[in-house]
Structure formats: C-alpha cells, structure tokens
Amino acid sequence: MASPHSPNTLQARDLLHPVVAGLISVIVNYGGTFVLVFQAAKIAGLSPALTASWVWSVSIGVGVTGILLSWAAREPIITAWSTPAAAFLVTALATTPYPEAVGAYLLSAAAFVLLGLSGCFDKAIRLIPPGVAAGLLAGILLPFGIGAFGGMTLDPLLTGWLILAYVTLKRFTARYAVVGILVSGLALLLLQDRIDLSGLTLAFAAPVYTAPAFSLNSLLSVALPLFLITLTGQYMPGMLVLRNDGFRTSANPIVTVTGLGSLLMAPFGSHAFNVAAITAAICTGKEAHDDPAKRWVAGIAAGIFYILVGVFGVTLAAVFMALPASFITTLAGLALLGTIGGSLASALAEPKTREAALITFLAAAANIKLFGIGGAFWGLVIGLAAHALLNGRLPQRPRPSRYAGLPRPAAGKEMVK
C-alpha cells in the first residue's frame, strides 16, 4: 500500500495535532456509541467476565489493525467496531444463543476476508463519482455538525463555552483550535465537578474464550445481516472518507486485515470491526495536520489509545461514557466542521454533477432506514440513481492516465517523448 503523499521526516511538533485527533476520535467512539455494546451484552445475559472480554477483544482488535494499516500505508486508516451492527445485536441477541452468535461473527468475518481477497469491493468504490462521494460524506456528517450547536438547549454553558473557544482559537491560532476545545472543555467539566474519578480503579481485563456454535438460523438471522449492515454502513462510507481527503489506499488490504482481525477476536466476543467513517473524518482532514503526509500518526495514536482501553477492559470505557453527552456531541461536531465544509465545497464544485451531489447530500442527511439498512447506503443508492438519470449514464471506471506510474509533467510543459 503506497501513500499518495511524499514521506516527510516527523519532528516532535508534528505529533501534537494528529495525536489529539486520534484521542478525540477514541473519546467520541466510546462516549457516543459504545453504550450499544453494553446494552447488547445485557440483552444476551452475559456475565461481567464475558462483557469485559467483549470490550477487550473489540478494543485490542481495533487498536492493532488500525496501527498495522496506518503504519503500512502511511495514511490515517482508523478502524472501529461496527456501530450499526452493535445496534442490530441489541435486538438479535435477545433470541440467539450466545455461542451461535459467536459462530455468526466468525462467518461474517470470513466473508469479509474473502471479499477483500477478491478485489471486488475496491473496484466498486472507484466507480463512485467524486461529487456523489463528497455529497454522501457531507450528508453523513451533517447531523454531527448540527449536534455541535444542539446542546445549547440543555447545556448552554458548556456548549457555549466550547463554541466560543473554537471560534476564538480559529481567529487567533487556527492550528490549535481542536486541541484547545478539548483541553478547555475538560477543564470546565473539572471546575463544575462533572467528572468523578474518585471511584476509578484500574483492573486488567481477561479474555474469555467461547466455543462457537453454528446453525442455519444464526447464519440467516445474524451472520448475513451483520455482514450487510457492516458493509453498507461502515466500509462504504469509511472508504469514501479516505478518498474525500485524497488518500488512495486500496480497500482490498483494509477489508482483508480487518476481516482477519474480526475472525481472530470473534471467539472472545468481538462482533465486527472495520474501517471507521465518522470518527475517521476527525483524523483524515486538515484539523489533524496541515500536511496530509503526517496524518497517519493519528491512526497510530488512535490504535494505542484503543489498546490502552482494551487492556483495562470496562474501566476506561466507562470513564469516556461518563462524560456528558453535550460535551461529546459538541466536541465531535466542532472537530468535523472543516471536513463538512470541505465535503460540501467538493460536492458542489462541478456544475455537471452538482445536482446529483446535492441530492446525495440531502438523502444521506435524511438518514433513511429501510429493510434494516441505514442511511449511508440509501443516500448512495439515491445519489447514484440521480447521477445516472441526470447524466444519461451510470458511473464508469476512469480510464488509466497515459502517465500512470510516471511522474506527471509540470504545469505548462510537456513530457519529452
């Protein structure tokens, strides 16, 4: 996997912003959606040891795969657990014996390994027009941007403070805006005595092996939906996040490595992990680093933070989940403002595809849910249909440039034949 950006020597000052971006992505992931894992574990009647093993397996797996992929590609490839799949399991585990659920996790993971090795998914991703992809990303992220200001109703002091800090820092020292709102927000919460760490005790998590069981029922009711939900709700938008910010790593190794990781961790409770979408956007844009060639550090940092949480099991995850919801949503929304603006600008830049991109944006923002499949998939389907109808043809795979694999000619000059 080769990065499209030339490698640069990393210096100490290059680490702060991508490390903070990685930390914020981890905070948003645990603070925003990890409660679904605990809900699913409760529905399944899992013991505290099995629940801690689920936290351990998914956190360690996400951390290790993210580090490996980011290091190999020199790109910020952020991995995460499948949030829509966790939401699906809240209901599915109510009627599925846990060993059969583990067997379904294994089957779904094996299917992703085969998909990555086949190369089909990468070919499909490259057919999506850039305007439609940018519109889809902007639509997916729009609720988070709105959420940054929605907290003013319930928590005006904290939300207002974060917004004021962000705008002020953007005016005087834009580079430190995201770092500043994280630090100042945590400081305000400490002053308000809204972070209680008195009962925190660090306890190591221990993985618990569960022998998988297989049945036709779990294949059709858990494994198949798990595969489709993760593919359409996580992998598809996750790859478009990378493409939108100029990273061109093939989807094949990403799907293969995360599939293998899920396969290894499934017997210990991990339901599925994959390339991230929303939290990845925090690490792939300019807020992580002005130089795209140095943003891969955010992937390494996020992976390390995930591993730390996994080592201590439920303990650290509970700390992030205890942060006020208004802090999580405002922090995420403000950190994503640059990506939302850039995506909208890219979506509407080309007049010929502007309307299709706008339709994609609105359809994705509407978060349509049909047949158990989430809004990202339907936004993409509607956008591609609009693009085909408005332009008279379906998207076609771009022809390789005659300069493929060669240095491009400088502006205003021709290559010597």
253: nearest Cα among 239, 272, 269, 271: 239
For residue 87, give the nearest of 27, 30, 46, 35 by alpha carbon: 35
Write down the pLDDT at residue 30.
Answer: 80
Q: What is the pLDDT of residue 21?
A: 87
For residues 235-260, one letter each, b for 16 or more C-beta atoms within 10 angstroms of the residue's C-beta and e for the rest, the string is bbbbbbbbbbbebebbbbbbbbbbbb
Backbone angles phi, psi at 43, to 5 degrees: -60, -40
Q: What is the pLDDT of residue 79?
A: 93
pLDDT at 9: 65
d(CA 140, CA 129): 17
Alpha-carbon distances, residue 128 vs 30, 169, 239, 264, 381 (angstroms): 31, 36, 11, 32, 10
pLDDT of residue 201: 66
Query: According to the model, what pLDDT value does residue 165 have?
Result: 92
Could you read off the pLDDT tens digit of each residue along the chain, which spans 417 residues? 444 444 456 666 678 888 988 888 888 888 767 777 887 888 888 888 888 899 899 999 999 999 999 999 999 999 988 888 888 888 888 888 999 999 999 999 999 999 999 988 888 888 888 888 888 888 888 888 888 898 888 889 999 999 999 999 888 887 778 778 888 888 998 888 887 666 666 777 889 999 999 988 888 888 988 898 888 778 888 888 888 888 888 889 999 999 999 999 999 999 888 998 878 888 888 877 788 888 899 999 999 999 988 888 777 667 776 778 888 888 888 888 888 888 888 888 888 889 999 999 999 898 888 876 777 788 888 999 999 998 876 555 554 443 333 333 333 333 333
pLDDT value of position 360 = 92
* pLDDT reported for residue 108: 94
What is the pLDDT at residue 101?
A: 93
Which residue has 């190591």 as its token pair?
A: 204
